[in-house]
Structure 1
Amino acid sequence: MEVMSDTFAAYDHANKNEQEIAQSSQCGCFSCYTTFPAADVKKWTDGTAWCPLCEAYRTVLGDKSGLLLTEEFLMAAHDHWIGPQQWLDALAVETQSIAASRSRKLPPDVRSAPKCLPWWKFW
């Protein structure tokens, strides 16, 4: 059960982690499951790193955290904090189908659509 307690710690180490990453040589992202040199992290918001590969926020861990940066651990942290990838894929398909069914249908000839005056032309 050590992996589960470590996944709880992963979120703490992924937030306000600028100093920890500055002291690290390697980093891992539990959004895209990759590892990369700590020097590659260039984007920060409120002292929290963005992944330089997938641009996820609050998912970057430095090796100074003491957590394993293996793909297995990064996947476990992803499932714990973000959700299992299969669930996310299914949710994306469902969301896309809802959006497609509710999308606005444009007239066949856009030029035949009624013209609207800009709001400032009414004054």
Structure 2
Amino acid sequence: MKFDLRAAHRHATSNREAIGASNVCGCFYCCLSYPAANVSRFLAEEHTALCPECTIDSVIGDVSGLPVADREFLVAMHDVWFAGIEIPELDSESSAPQSSGLNRSSEAAFDRLDRRFIP
């Protein structure tokens, strides 16, 4: 199944209700998945979820129908929306971003994924 990565982004904004209805969420900045119950912070004006791991507003809930627990999907989203920015490696004790040394181009990511996802 192919997913339109640009259209998928709309699920990352004004998503408080969707996150509340989800079981699992994924962040396409840090590329981690976690229980939706872990999401407790939202941007006040637009009701957009902040990732409990990296605090970036790039969270999508599984109620969207997107494969938010699939790291390859999250990496593909990261490559489209944060091109040129390394995926942070989070320190499990402090959740402080650490450099992972990863820096993928969108084209390479899509080749690796057999074009399962489209930009």
With structure 1 as the length reference, what TM-score do the two structures score? 0.64
Letter in structure 1 aligned against 2:65: G
Q: Does 1:13 align with 2:11?
A: yes
The Cα shift of 1:10 comes to 2.2
Q: Percent of aligned positions with the same letter in both sequences? A: 41
Q: Which has more radius of gyration?
A: 1
RMSD: 1.8
- Cα distance in 1 for partners of 2:62, 2:54 equals 19
- Cα distance in 2 for partners of 1:20, 1:87 equals 29
Q: Determine which of 32, 51, 54 is the counterpart of 1:34.
A: 32
User: Pairwise mapping of residues 1-123 of structure 1 onto structure 2 (< 5 A)?
Assistant: 2-3=2-3, 5=4, 7-45=5-43, 46-57=46-57, 59-69=58-68, 70-84=70-84, 85=86, 86=103
Provide structure 2 residue ranges, at least 5 long, that are not aligned to the other structure: 87-102, 106-119
- Cα distance in 2 for partners of 1:43, 1:82 equals 21
**Is this contact kept in 1: 2:27–2:60, CA < 8 A?**
yes
After superposition, the C-alpha distances for 1:30-87 in whole angstroms (9 at most, x for unaligned) are: 0111111111111111210000001111x10000000011000000000011114327
* Structure 1 or 2: more helix by fraction: 1
Letter in structure 1 aligned against 2:21: Q
Q: How many residues align?
A: 85
Provide structure 1 residue ranges, at least 5 long, that are not aligned to the other structure: 89-123
